[in-house]
Amino acid sequence: MLRAILIAIGVFFSGMMLYSFGASTYAYLTDPAAPTAEEEFHLHPKEVHFSFNGSLGHYDRQQLQRGFQVFKEVCSACHSLKFVAFRDLEQLGYSEAEVKAIAKQWTIKAPDVDPKTGEPSTRDPVPADHFPKPFANNVAAAAANNNAIPPDLSLMAKARHDGPAYIHSLLTGFQSQEGFKNAKGKELLKEFPDSKTPEGLHFNPYFANLNLAMAPPLTAEGQVSYGDGTKATVDQMATDVSAFLMWTAEPKLESRKSTGMAVLFFLLIATGLAYLSYRNIWADKKH
């Protein structure tokens, strides 16, 4: 009896699925879903080489410092970095005194309370502070940015597929929508005349829906003057700031990889010994 009920349930669900398959095939053949502009014209991130790729990769301190400079002079005007503290910058090779100076001279002041009146006030950040947010709240951020809230950048490199390459591609991917063609040679505005970038947005095929609110932030060579003499091309600045944001997202990447090597070395030996003892114990038993 139980089996009969169960078999009936099986016939129902399997039958339902086969019927649904037939019906969806019919729908697919008679009325296929039209492809969208995003499906056809969205680009995957470019191939970018970073020193931290690979199982032995590590950060290039010079590059992180350059990336930090780009963040400081360009990105930080709109984007917060709320999970990173000034003291963390010592990991980039800055001395304690330099970090103190960076914090003190930071354009955006840290929120505080006036010790005499209890009124909200601001003060110079100290190394223990996290990077102060450029806007008091989301409403202020949206009001200042054409109704779009600039996202926090602390974790951006882990919050997108292929993060660092994505950031690099996005920063260098702004282009004219006129005449933009995909790999198949189709032209966006000819295929999808309705998908013209709306007023106030900017066309960028690396962005999920092709148009984003952020204006191209890196526009000219030499926008940032690097202290170490590296030529500040747009591509170089984009690569450096992508590397910096990978560090902000994964500051423990280097100790993770080096610990991993030591752990693997230990485990390989231990497992080898475990295998030998297993063979030894079983030597007298056929199995």
User: Which residues are near other proteins by CB under 8 A?
Assistant: 2-3, 6-7, 9-11, 13-21, 23-25, 27-28, 32-33, 55, 83, 88, 151-152, 154-155, 158-161, 163, 208, 249, 251-252, 255-257, 259-261, 263-264, 267-268, 270-271, 274-275, 277-278, 281-282, 285-287
278's tokens: 């297993």
Residue 33 or 183 having the CB closest to other proteins: 33
Nearest distance from C-beta of residue 68 to other proteins, angstroms: 17
Rounded least distance, CB 205 to other proteins, Å: 16
Look at residues 89, 92, 84, 91 and name the one whose alpha carbon lies nearest to residue 100: 89
> Distance from first CA to last CA of the chain, Å, rounded?
42
Collapsing DSSP to helix, strand or coil, 51 comes out as: coil
Distance CA 90, CA 266 (A): 31
- Min separation Cβ 90 and other proteins, Å: 13
Could you give the angle at which helices 61-73 and 234-249 cross, rounded to 10 degrees?
100
Q: How far is the CB of 130 from other proteins (least distance, A)?
A: 10
For other proteins, the closer of residues 93 and 278 by Cβ is 278
DSSP assignment of 142-209: HHHTTT-PPPP-TTTTTSSTTHHHHHHHHHH----STT-B-TT--BHHHH-GGGPPPTT-EE-TTSTT
Which CB, 9 or 113, lies closer to other proteins? 9
We find the least distance from the C-beta atom of residue 273 to other proteins, in angstroms, to be 8
Nearer to other proteins, 73 or 250 (CB): 250
d(C-alpha 16, C-alpha 237), whole Å: 56
Q: How far is the CB of 208 from other proteins (least distance, A)?
A: 7
* 225 or 278: CB nearest other proteins: 278
Minimum CB distance to other proteins smaller for 21 or for 120: 21
Contact at 8 Å (CB) between 196 and 180? no
